[in-house]
């Protein structure tokens, strides 16, 4: 019974609500000229939850979101930036993390970031990656959008999840960054399948118009 409850909590945190494919035609980005940056957030790997069912599955020593971010950076020769909060801000015990993230979402708390970008103006293309927590993007994504004006930039979204696809990632960024050109052709993968997605990521990037 305890294991069943833990898995139910895992499903709530990472989200299970929609299909898991990237079969819709990718709409090309109008102009991809200029430097590219990959930005991503990932939470802790909670204690007591294995890699196939946890909120942050591990792939080759990296979180699933970090793995996808690195794949995108490698395939587009982009720079990469890790969105971080203070060490210990999020609990690592699974149920505590789930409860904390749910309250943070309900309260609309935008946590302080410990990462900082000094040269955002150098970039034209911004990929933003995130896990899906409680059917939406984690609140540090809001903190990042609070801190930086992405007006005039191309923004592409990618998520790792366990059933929620892109969730509301596109609409969140469209709402928070009205001056940005936000692609509706995002990429998503189940966290426990991220390690096998290199070709799918390449196809997505090619469809957007990004090549080395």
- Residues 133-192 pLDDT 10s: 999 999 999 999 999 999 999 999 999 988 889 999 999 999 999 999 999 999 999 888
Quick one: which of 151, 128, 11, 43 has its CA closest to 81? 128
| Region of residue 35 (left: phi > 0; alpha: psi -120 to 50; beta: else) | beta
For 114, the token pair is: 């410990």
Cβ contact 125:29 at 8 Å: yes
For 208, the token pair is: 């957007």
The mean pLDDT of 16-41, rounded to a whole number, is: 78
In this predicted structure, what is the pLDDT of residue 18? 42
Residue 40 host element (H or E): strand 35-41
Quick one: which of 71, 99, 93, 94 has its CA closest to 195? 71
Largest CA distance in the chain: 54
In this predicted structure, what is the pLDDT of residue 3? 40
For the entire predicted model, the pTM comes to 0.87
List, for residues 85-111, the tens digit of each pLDDT value: 999 999 988 888 889 999 999 999 999
Residue 110 host element (H or E): none
In this predicted structure, what is the pLDDT of residue 58? 66
**If pLDDT is split at 50, 70 and 90, which confidence band does 4 have?**
very low
In this predicted structure, what is the pLDDT of residue 62? 83
Cβ contact 138:167 at 8 Å: no
Give CA–CA dist 88/31, Å, rounded.
40
In this predicted structure, what is the pLDDT of residue 56? 54
Cβ contact 133:172 at 8 Å: no
Cβ contact 135:167 at 8 Å: yes
Q: Which residue has the tokens 């930005």?
A: 39
Cβ contact 47:92 at 8 Å: yes
């Amino acid at each position: 019974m305890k294991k069943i409850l833990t898995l139910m909590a895992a499903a709530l945190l990472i989200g299970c609500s929609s299909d898991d494919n990237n079969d819709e035609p990718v709409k090309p980005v109008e102009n991809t000229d200029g430097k590219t940056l990959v930005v991503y957030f990932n939470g802790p790997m909670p204690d007591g939850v294995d890699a196939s069912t946890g909120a942050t599955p591990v792939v080759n020593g990296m979180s699933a979101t970090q793995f996808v971010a690195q794949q995108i950076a490698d395939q587009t020769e982009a720079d990469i930036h890790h969105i971080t909060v203070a060490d210990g801000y999020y609990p690592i015990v699974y149920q505590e993390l789930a409860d904390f993230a749910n309250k943070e979402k309900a309260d609309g708390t935008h946590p302080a970031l410990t990462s900082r970008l000094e040269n955002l103006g150098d970039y034209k293309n911004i990929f933003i990656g995130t896990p899906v927590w409680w059917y939406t993007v984690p609140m540090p994504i809001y903190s990042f959008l609070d801190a930086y004006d992405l007006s005039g930039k191309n923004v592409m979204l990618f998520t790792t999840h366990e059933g929620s696809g892109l969730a509301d990632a596109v609409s969140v960024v469209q709402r928070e960054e009205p001056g940005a050109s936000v692609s509706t052709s995002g990429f998503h993968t189940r966290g426990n399948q991220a390690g096998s997605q290199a070709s799918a990521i390449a196809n997505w990037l090619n469809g957007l118009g990004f090549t080395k």
